[in-house]
């Protein structure tokens, strides 16, 4: 701390004979770059990896406990031999989710983030070294359960899927606009609990999403009962197929 | 609180620019942050001194330009200012709009202090 005036001693405070002056600035340089430029570069690099081997990459985000891991377990079982899946799991402390994914029949790489509240593109890149991308069709990245921080970081995914469970309230898109604006698909989960939760209105949740100028499809499903899972599985199959069409269209050119 | 991670990324960019200029001390860092960027300006300001300690950016001030949320309607073509969770056209209420501003997280400019001038001044102050 500066002893002259008790200020934090920053460079703005230079004391001459009791007055505060500031040395003339030698100049200001315009930069105009994204604060997350570095992450953006790494994300583009990840995406190029996925595209080179025609893997569909999906970033799964939600609050803690909205059912990301349960949805993945049900997805792995439902897709069976039709599509080959791998999962990158972001978790603060445990390997519990990765164990559940492996038990469901898909390879899983755990990123234990410690105190980090989100995944970033370089964490995903490091985890990719443990994934055999050439042997899979779809890579799910299960982000840290958090409706705020993960929204800011591009991981190189093709799509963001945001889950909203019926026990959370239908106004979540209104409360977390940054996250829900980023959704390429919103999945309303645990709809088997709707009878017990009488104040969740899926139409209202959808309206809140539209009020973020987001035209993303909205699916209602339950990983536990299997209700609505068909549309979700169809969406994944369609998206994975479009990646393969991408391969046919671009083979030998941009990604050859 | 991802603002700490954002600050670290910011610091690396400022250092890059400072190295290009051979500058030892940074005066002011100007950012433009829109409410839909997901960054809380106040948290960023709080976190910055923690990551800047011991670097040429130590003591630098952070100036934040805000960026209002504005949308352009694809229906009626008008542009209006609105709220983060109500990205609707102010004229016709349509949600078929494009975000024009309010999502930015930009490093706008970096102000360098004349190193020699600072050194001369500091010697005189002792």
CA distance B51 to B87: 35
Closest approach of B64 to chain A, Cα-based (Å): 13
Interface test with B, best of A35, A119, A120 (most B CBs within 10 A): A35
Phi, psi of B110 (to 5 degrees): -125, 130
pLDDT at A15 exceeding the cut of 90: no
- In chain A, what are the domains? 38-250 (3.40.50.300)
* Sheet strands (E) in chain A: 14-16, 19-21, 25-34, 56-61, 85-91, 108-112, 138-142, 159-165, 185-189, 218-220
CA distance A11 to A22: 8
Contact criterion met (CB < 8 Å) for B111 and A28: yes
Phi, psi of B48 (to 5 degrees): -60, -50
Mean pLDDT of A49-58: 97
| CB-based contact, B109 to chain A, within 8 Å | yes
Mean pLDDT of chain B: 90
- CATH number of this structure's domain B3-67+101-115: 3.30.2320.50
Which residue, among A75, A135, A142, A60, has the nearest Cα to A108 in the 3D structure?
A142
| CB-based contact, B114 to chain A, within 8 Å | yes
| CB-based contact, B76 to chain A, within 8 Å | no
Contact criterion met (CB < 8 Å) for B87 and A24: no
- Neighboring chain B residues of A27 at a CB cutoff of 8 Å: 111-112
Closest approach of B36 to chain A, Cα-based (Å): 6
Cα B51 from chain centroid?
Answer: 15
pLDDT tens digits, B72-82: 999 999 999 99
Mean pLDDT of A61-69: 96
Residue with tokens 């106004």: A171
| CB-based contact, B93 to chain A, within 8 Å | no
pLDDT value of residue A6: 35
pTM of the model: 0.86
pLDDT value of residue A159: 98
ipTM of this model?
0.86
Which residue in chain A has the smallest CA separation from B125?
Answer: A16
pLDDT tens digits, A79-118: 988 999 999 999 877 888 999 999 999 999 999 877 778 9
pLDDT tens digits, A118-135: 999 999 999 999 999 999
| CB-based contact, B105 to chain A, within 8 Å | yes
Phi, psi of A28 (to 5 degrees): -125, 135
CA distance A140 to A107: 11
pLDDT value of residue A253: 43
The pLDDT profile of chain B, 126 residues, written as one tens digit per residue, is 688 899 999 999 999 988 888 887 899 999 999 999 999 999 999 999 999 999 989 999 999 999 999 999 999 999 999 999 999 999 999 999 999 999 999 999 999 886 555 555 556 654
**Chain A from 213 to 252: CB within 8 A of any B CB:** 213, 215
Which residue in chain A has the smallest CA separation from B34?
Answer: A178
pLDDT tens digits, B15-40: 998 888 888 789 999 999 999 999 99
CA distance A198 to A28: 58
Please check whether residue B103 is in contact with residue B34, taking contact to mean a CB–CB distance below 8 angstroms: yes
């Amino acid at each position: 701390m500066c002893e002259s005036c008790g200020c934090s001693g920053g460079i703005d405070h230079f004391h001459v004979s009791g007055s505060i002056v500031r040395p003339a600035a030698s100049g200001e340089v315009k930069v105009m770059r994204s604060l997350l430029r570095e992450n953006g570069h790494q994300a583009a690099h990840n995406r190029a990896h996925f595209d080179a081997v025609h893997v569909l990459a999906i970033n799964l985000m939600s609050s803690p406990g909205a059912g990301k891991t349960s949805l993945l377990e049900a997805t792995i079982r439902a897709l069976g031999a039709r599509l080959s899946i791998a999962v990158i799991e972001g978790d603060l402390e445990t390997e519990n989710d990765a164990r559940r994914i492996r038990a469901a029949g898909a390879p899983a790489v755990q990123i234990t983030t410690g105190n980090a509240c989100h995944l970033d593109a370089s964490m995903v890149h490091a985890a990719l070294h443990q994934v055999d991308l050439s042997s899979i069709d779809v890579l799910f990245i299960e982000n840290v359960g958090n409706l705020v921080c993960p929204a800011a970081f591009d991981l190189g995914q093709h799509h963001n899927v945001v889950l909203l469970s019926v026990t959370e309230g239908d106004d979540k898109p209104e409360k977390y606009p940054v996250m829900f604006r980023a959704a390429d698909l919103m999945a309303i989960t645990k709809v088997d609990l709707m009878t017990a939760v009488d104040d969740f209105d899926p139409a209202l949740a959808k309206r809140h999403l539209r009020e973020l100028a987001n035209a993303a499809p909205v699916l209602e499903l339950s990983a536990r009962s299997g209700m609505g899972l068909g549309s979700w599985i169809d969406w994944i199959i369609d998206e994975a197929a479009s990646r393969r069409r991408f391969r046919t269209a671009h083979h030998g050119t941009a990604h050859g | 609180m991802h603002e700490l991670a954002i600050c670290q990324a910011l610091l690396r960019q400022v250092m890059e620019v400072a190295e290009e200029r051979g500058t030892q001390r940074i005066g002011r860092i100007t950012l433009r942050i829109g409410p839909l960027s997901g960054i809380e300006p106040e948290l960023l300001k709080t976190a910055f001194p923690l990551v800047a300690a011991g670097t040429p950016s130590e003591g630098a001030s952070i100036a934040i330009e805000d960026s209002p949320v504005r949308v352009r309607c694809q229906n009626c073509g008008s542009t209006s200012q609105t709220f983060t969770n109500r990205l609707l056209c102010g004229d016709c209420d349509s949600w078929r709009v494009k975000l024009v501003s309010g999502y930015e997280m930009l490093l706008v400019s970096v102000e360098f202090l004349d190193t020699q001038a600072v050194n001369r001044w500091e010697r005189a102050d002792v």
